[in-house]
Amino acid sequence: MPLLAAESISKHFGGIAALVGVDLNVEPGEFVGLVGPNGAGKTTLFNCLLGILKPNRGRVFFRGRDLSRMPMHARARLGLGRTFQRLEVFSGMTVRDHFLVADRSRRKKGGLFGDLVGQGTPTRREDARAEAVGELLGLTELLDVPVDSLSLGHARLVELGRAVLTEPKLLMLDEPSSGLDRVETMEMARVLQSVQAERGTAILLVEHDLEMVSLVTSRLYVLEFGEMLATGPTPQVLAHPVVRRAYVGDVA
């Protein structure tokens, strides 16, 4: 049984058909890529999967459960984590607080009572977990900096760390490398691979950087004008002439 199964998702905005009957599967622990030209509908698909948008047609199953009527936070609790192309960081909060909040959310803390009896202050364990993630992502120096002052690339890393701390079964990343330079992108690729390998997290990666995609993903979906153009093992898909024409734009 696939971890995530999206069945014929359709979404339109007024006259624009952003997604037309899209199918997508992710197996547990798999590293899958999703590529497509600008405006292909990749972000829209993510939004439909997490419940930010309601698809006009189609259904999403995750760990065997139908997500259609589930609100966003419940889907997240079930094990869907994601980062955003247009940042959704908690402005005004420090990096450490981002991680702390994610950690507490995963452990289903949040009762008023706990706060009143003084359990609100971060414990040493919580700090340790936040620092571990900070170290993994190279954010150690920035832990106590308000997120608003970070560069775009670093803010993306904060979103990644926040998602990782919720220990998702499936991590959906929307163009994590934009805002990073070459070296940082490769570093990011390494981090993602280690997250996948060590925690067994499945990853669904939207990315324009084909080098990174071919480096980390084992399977690839190609989306164009809201329709799934191709899927299969990454090297073969990338080599396919139709895909090259549609996505890369030049047929060598």
Partner 1 sequence: MSRAVSIWPASADPIGSTKSGLVAAGTAGPGWARGNSKIVNDVVGLIVGGLALGCVYALVATGVVLTYKTSAVFNLALGAQAFTAAAVMYSLRNNLGLPLILSFVVAVLIVGPLLGLGLYVTLFRRLRNVPEAVRLVVALGVLILLPAIVQALWFGKGGNRGSPPALVLEQDKVYAWGPVSIPADQLSTILFTILVVVGLVALFKYTNLGLQMRAVVESPRMVQLAGINADRVSMISWMLSGTIAALGGVLLAPLFLSITPSNYTILLVAAIAAAVFGRLTSLPLTLVGGLALGFLQQALSRYLPSDSVLAQGLRPSLPFVVLFLLLLFWPGLRDRREVTDPLAGVDPPASSIAGTVRASKDTSKVLPLTLGTVVIVALCLLLPGIWMYRITGAIVLSTIFLSFTVLTGMAGQISLCQAAFAGAGAYGAAQLANHFNVPIMVGLLVGGLVGLAVGMLISLPTLGLRGIYLTLATLAFTLMVDQIVFPLEQVGGGPAGLEVPRPYWSGFIDFSDDRAFFLLCVAALAVAALVVWLVRRGTTGRFLDAIRGSETGAASIGINPSRAKITAFALSALIAGVGGVLLSSWQQRTSAGDFGVGNSLLWALVVIILGARTIKGALAGGFLLVLFPELLKAAGIPNPEAWQGVVFGLGTFVFVRHPEGLVDAIGGWYQRHFGRPERTTEEVRRIVTIDLSEPEPPAGNGASSPQAPYTAGVGPLPDTAGAVAGTAGGGSYRYAQAGSGPPQPPSMPAPPSFGGT
Ligand X SMILES: Nc1ncnc2c1ncn2[C@@H]1O[C@H](COP(=O)(O)OP(=O)(O)OP(=O)(O)O)[C@@H](O)[C@H]1O
Q: What is the CA radius of gyration of the chain?
A: 19
Q: How far is the CB of 203 from partner 1 (least distance, A)?
A: 16
Is 11 a binder of partner 1 (CB under 8 A)? Answer: no
- Site membership for Mg ion, residue 234 (CB under 5 A): no
Strand order in the sheet with 219-224: 80-82, 170-174, 202-206, 31-35, 219-224, 227-233
Query: Least distance (Å) from ligand X to the CB of residue 81?
Result: 18
CB of 197 to ligand X, least distance (A): 28
Q: What is the DSSP letter of 123?
A: P
The answer to whether 213 and 220 are in contact (CB under 8 A) is yes
- Compare residues 45 and 139 and give the one whose CB is closer to ligand X: 45
Question: Among candidates 18, 43, 9, which has minimal Cα distance to 175?
Answer: 43
**Tokens, residue 195:** 């997250």
178 binds Mg ion (CB under 5 A): no
- Select the residue interacting with partner 1 from 26, 49, 60, 139 (CB under 8 A): 139
41 touches which of Mg ion, partner 1, ligand X, none (CB within 5 to 8 A by kind)?
Answer: ligand X
**Which candidate, 46, 39, 33, 131, places its Cα nearest to that of 82?**
46
Applying CB under 8 A, among 57, 59, 65, 151 the residue interacting with partner 1 is: 151
Site track 49-88 with partner 1 (rule: CB under 8 A), x = hit: -x-x------------------xxxx-xx---xx-x-xxx
User: CB of 36 within 8 A of CB of 44?
Assistant: no
Residues that bind Mg ion (CB under 5 A): 43, 85
